[in-house]
């Protein structure tokens, strides 16, 4: 339908479209029946030029009225209310905020993850190659959403988000259903040795060959999907409850915003997650 290129044939995503606004959803979350969620694309919005068309970030220089209209459209498609949204101001930290009733409309500064148990409250985070991490605890009825670039991955924001859900809502990691969202794939993600050194320190030696390989030019190809899966398993989430993306932002530059494709002249995609009211 969207013409997305998938890395394999696994049925990780469902491509949905409501009122001409496409988005990606996870069948594993849909089947739970307790959350509204989605991941936006570049399509179905009103932004122009480099932001075309569905830019959802207010920090990239786009027209505020266009962003507001885009936000209304995607909210209506996913089934959430714009006034129930809470946002991160992401700076590659491992800070995870617990959003409470009074936080509707708030932007948490220097924060890269959020958790909540408030019905209706919609967590919103921003992306253009970095990795979205979704968490749903159907037992305690709590959710989490985190932004995990290479720095968040090295410092294991996924694990910190699970710990925050345990601390705040009593979540048992074994109950959590998690998803690793559309982001840059290993084939597209070249990094230098200083980045790899940090992964060598942070992850157990046995799995390093699955995380990266060295090339003739002295650079490395890094697998953020596999690394985040490992982070979630370390946190106690069961492997069979982790849905790993097979959609790469950089492989699909006409449909998804990619920093590695467009540099800073681009909009942002968003991840959305809310407990149903
Ligand atoms: Zn790719």
Tokens (6 digits) for 250? 């950089």
Predicted confidence (pLDDT) per residue in 240-259, tens digit:
999 999 999 999 999 999 99
Distance 181 CA to ligand 1 centre (A): 13
pLDDT of 117 over the 90 cut: yes
Q: How many Å apart are CA 258 and CA 246, to the nearest integer? A: 15
Mean pLDDT for 166-182 is: 98
Would you state the pLDDT for residue 44?
A: 98
Distance 253 CA to ligand 1 centre (A): 10
Query: How much of the chain, in percent, has pLDDT values that exceed 70?
Result: 100
Task: Please report which confidence band the pLDDT of residue 172 belongs to, taking 50, 70 and 90 as the band edges.
Answer: very high
Task: Please report which confidence band the pLDDT of residue 1 belongs to, taking 50, 70 and 90 as the band edges.
Answer: confident
pLDDT of 76 over the 90 cut: yes
Q: How many Å apart are CA 87 and CA 103, to the nearest integer? A: 10
Distance 221 CA to ligand 1 centre (A): 11
pTM above 0.75, yes or no: yes
Distance 270 CA to ligand 1 centre (A): 18
Distance 7 CA to ligand 1 centre (A): 8
Q: Is the dihedral of CA 109, 242, 42, 51 positive or negative?
A: positive
Is 127:249 a contact under the CB 8 Å cutoff?
yes
Q: For the chain, what is the largest distance between any 2 Cα atoms, rounded to a whole number of angstroms?
A: 54
Would you state the pLDDT for residue 140?
A: 98
Mean pLDDT for 37-62 is: 97
Predicted confidence (pLDDT) per residue in 118-157, tens digit:
999 999 999 999 999 999 999 999 999 999 999 999 999 9
Domains parsed from the chain with CATH numbers: 14-183+242-275 (3.60.140.10)
Tokens (6 digits) for 175? 């109950």
């Amino acid at each position: 339908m969207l013409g997305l290129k998938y890395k394999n044939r696994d049925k990780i995503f469902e491509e949905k479209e409501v009122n001409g606004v496409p988005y990606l959803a996870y069948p594993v979350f849909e089947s739970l029946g307790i959350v509204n969620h989605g991941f936006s694309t570049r399509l179905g919005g009103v932004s122009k030029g480099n932001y075309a068309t569905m830019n959802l970030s207010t920090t990239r220089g786009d027209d505020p009225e266009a962003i507001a209209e885009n936000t209304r459209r995607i909210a209506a498609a996913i089934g959430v209310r714009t006034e129930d949204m809470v946002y991160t101001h992401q700076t590659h930290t491992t800070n995870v905020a617990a959003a409470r009733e009074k936080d509707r409309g708030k932007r948490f500064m220097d924060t890269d993850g959020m958790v909540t148990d408030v019905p209706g409250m919609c967590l919103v985070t921003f992306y253009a190659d970095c990795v979205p991490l979704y968490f749903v605890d159907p037992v305690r009825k709590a959710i989490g959403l985190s932004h995990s670039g290479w720095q968040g991955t090295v410092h294991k924001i996924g694990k910190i988000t699970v710990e925050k859900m345990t601390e705040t809502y009593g979540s048992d990691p074994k109950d959590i259903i998690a998803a690793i969202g559309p982001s840059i794939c290993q084939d597209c993600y070249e990094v230098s040795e200083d980045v790899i050194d940090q992964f060598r320190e942070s992850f157990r030696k046995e799995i390093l060959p699955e995380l990266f390989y060295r090339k003739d030019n002295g650079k490395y190809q890094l697998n953020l999907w596999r690394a985040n899966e490992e982070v979630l398993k370390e946190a106690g989430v069961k492997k069979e409850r982790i849905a790993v993306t097979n959609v790469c932002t950089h492989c699909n530059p006409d449909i998804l915003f990619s920093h590695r494709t467009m540099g800073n002249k681009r909009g942002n995609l968003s991840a959305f997650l809310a407990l149903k009211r």
